[in-house]
Amino acid sequence: MIEEMSKVQIIGPKGCLDECIKVLHAAAVLHIETIPAPADIESFLQKLPMEKEKMLQKETLEKGAERLRNLTHLLKEPGSFKTARIAPEEINGYLEEIKPLEGTVKSLRAEKDDLSEEIVSIGRYERLLHGFAPIVSRLGGLKNFDIVGLTVEKTREDIPGLIDSEIKKITGGNYQIYVKDLDEKDIGIVLAYERKYDSMVRYLLSGKSISEVRLPDEYSSLSLVEALKLMGRKKAAIPARVNEVERELQGISYEWYGKLAGLLKAIYDAIDEIGVIMYAAQSRFTFVIEGWVPVKMLELLKEKFKALFDDRVLVRELEIKDTEVDLIPVHIKNYGIFKPFEVFLSALPPPRYGSVDPTPYVAVFFPIFFGLIVGDIGYGAVIFLISLYLRRRFRGKETLSSIASVLSVSSVSAIIFGFLFGEFFGDLGTRFGLIHPVLFHRTEALKTTMVLTIGIGIGHVLLGIIIGIVNQLSRGRRKEAGAKIAYLTVIVSFLFILAVMFNFLPRDFLTPGVAALAVSFIVLTVLEGVLGPLEFLKALGNILSYVRIMAVGTASVVMATVANRIGGLSEDLIVGIIAAGVIHALNVVLSVLSPSIQSMRLHYVEFFSKFYEGGGRKYTPFKKR
């Protein structure tokens, strides 16, 4: 439900401002608004400027937050940690304490990165040296020769020949060249030549479309065998050192991550408290803060300020002007089983203040639609177990936890409807004589199922229109309410006429139905114009959309039955169980996704369109992180 809000003003001496902000921060109920700058320069109230000391403090805190973000980015988040509670006065002490830690962590991460890069580099050079070994053995090692490794794209296959020809001219034939395919894209070239030709060779290579792979300096004075041995020793030792560095970083993470997370939140809270000053106004001796508070919390806020400041700080309720109604922030508060279903509003702009919170209606109808579509005891039980796992897995993550709770409630509905339809993994239950339909079997009663879903659609759409009528009347919008009443009458009278034509109602209802349809149609056209009749046609389409409940549900039943029959056709019992299990597993996945999507669509498009008014402002109280 949408909580009733009060507009409040807090007035006190400037000396109490910082303490008042801390109280508001801890209370976490005031949605603070910016007090508009006065048009008249001589106005009683002026914008409250931020003192230089506060600006410097804010800048220092922001730099500290940047340091902490960088540090936590370098550390791997442990699987679980407890965020430390750090008081504002402890922030500077902690920032000094982590300075040595920052150096240690940066050093370890730099070493790890260097080691990772070196092991890749060693692997690359090892491949080149192993390939070059026959040539080097004839040249007496590497000591008197320079080695240059090159890579060339295979699209330039002419380059190795050109290099060979030019190097031969420079060195008089005193060189060796080794060419080898490295991968699908590149060719590797290794050149060995006497060092006295180095400048001329490099000048030659600098103008070619090639990439040089130089042997590191630490290997350049070694023989081939010594270079390969050193590379081998390093390659063997590096993983152990990398693991050691990772353990050190992990140990630091376990010890410090919770403290760093708590410190970062404390810094953000301190920055927020300084930022609130920008929302306030001042007179010569006082400050003024305005905002919105849920009516239920107003007295508690007043009592808190009374206890702390006595009469020095005044908390008073302001009259809400007509021009401010659309600016009132919307605070949606539901309890118990309704609470998780608020997640459906996250995909929409918040409803306007004074309109309708659809959460309770979604909490009732979404599980019903889901259950009607799945309608299987076995699938419902599997989905229920999945939802329990997800709730435990994502505990503390509000959105994902809410989705898991919605799935849990909906799976219970699926089990109930599965009992009524006599379905347990399709027709498996009836095959073994475990259960039988209480109402009907869906694949054998398609017409009945269709009539049922259309009936549900009629009820759901009409309920949406009625909710819209009540909402418009409660807000004093008589014309809009009258248009919706005419809209409702048009639909109901048309349905009465259809019921008479198909012999569901006596003929006596035909004349009143036609008369009501004609009158309400005229009234609707007068109040809504040409769009009125179009809305009527749209409503009929909305009602027919509920047939998707029958269609998607029947498809799920058929798929489950096919899985059982494929499993039964196999001569090998184990193979049959595996084949049926794979299809059932796929159907379970579809039974989570498709019913959820279809049920959400029926609410968003067919139901909400009859009363939902978006465009509201979300209630965001000033509270600690």
What secondary structure does DSSP assign to 543-588, as a single string? HHHTHHHHHHHHHHHHHHHHHHHHHHH-SSHHHHHHHHHHHHHHHH
Nearest Cα residue to 608 out of 331, 320, 357, 390: 357
Exposed/middle/buried for 304, CB within 10 Å: 0-12, 13-18, 19+? Answer: middle
Q: What tokens appear for 177 in the block?
A: 């060249």
Strand partners, 175: 193
pLDDT band at 161 (very low <50, low <70, confident <90, very high): confident
Confidence check: pLDDT of 551 > 60: yes
Confidence check: pLDDT of 41 > 50: no
- Average pLDDT value for residue range 86-92: 85
- Model pLDDT, residue 224: 57
Q: What are the pLDDT digits (tens) for 591-613?
A: 899 999 999 999 999 999 888 98
Q: What tokens appear for 67 in the block?
A: 């340091």
C-alpha 282/C-alpha 45 separation (Å) is 5
- Model pLDDT, residue 374: 92
Strand partners, 151: 188, 211
Confidence check: pLDDT of 218 > 70: no
Taking a C-beta distance cutoff of 8 angstroms, is the pair 375, 417 a contact? yes
- Model pLDDT, residue 323: 83
- Average pLDDT value for residue range 504-514: 81
C-alpha 477/C-alpha 354 separation (Å) is 12
Confidence check: pLDDT of 371 > 90: yes
- Model pLDDT, residue 78: 82
The torsion angles phi and psi of 51, rounded to 5 degrees, stand at: -65, 155
Q: How many other CB atoms sit within 10 Å of the CB of residue 318?
A: 12
Q: What tokens appear for 331 in the block?
A: 């605070």
Taking a C-beta distance cutoff of 8 angstroms, is the pair 246, 254 a contact? no
Nearest Cα residue to 178 out of 231, 229, 131: 131
Exposed/middle/buried for 119, CB within 10 Å: 0-12, 13-18, 19+? Answer: middle
Say which residue, 502 or 208, is predicted with more confidence. Answer: 502
Lowest mean pLDDT among 171-180, 406-415, 432-441, 535-544: 171-180
- Angstrom distances, CA of residue 481 to CA of 218, 478, 524, 539: 86, 5, 11, 17
End-to-end CA distance of the chain: 25
Q: What tokens appear for 533 in the block?
A: 């009749």
- Average pLDDT value for residue range 145-167: 77
Taking a C-beta distance cutoff of 8 angstroms, is the pair 376, 424 a contact? yes
Average pLDDT over all residues of the chain: 84
For each of the domains in the chain, give its residue range(s) and CATH number, in order of start. 5-48+280-330 (3.30.70.240), 113-238 (3.30.70.2750), 356-610 (no CATH)
pLDDT band at 135 (very low <50, low <70, confident <90, very high): low
Helix then strand count (H, E) for the chain reads 19, 12
Q: What tokens appear for 396 in the block?
A: 């503390």
- Average pLDDT value for residue range 18-25: 90
C-alpha 292/C-alpha 34 separation (Å) is 11
Those residues whose C-beta lies under 8 Å from the C-beta of residue 583, and which sit 6 or more positions away, are 559, 562, 563, 566
C-alpha 611/C-alpha 484 separation (Å) is 10
Residue burial 341-356, b: 16+ Cβ < 10 Å; e: rest: bbbbbeeeebbbbbbb
Exposed/middle/buried for 235, CB within 10 Å: 0-12, 13-18, 19+? Answer: middle
Q: What are the pLDDT digits (tens) for 400-444?
A: 899 999 999 999 999 999 999 999 988 888 887 788 888 888 888
Nearest Cα residue to 425 out of 596, 595, 586: 586
The torsion angles phi and psi of 428, rounded to 5 degrees, stand at: -65, -40
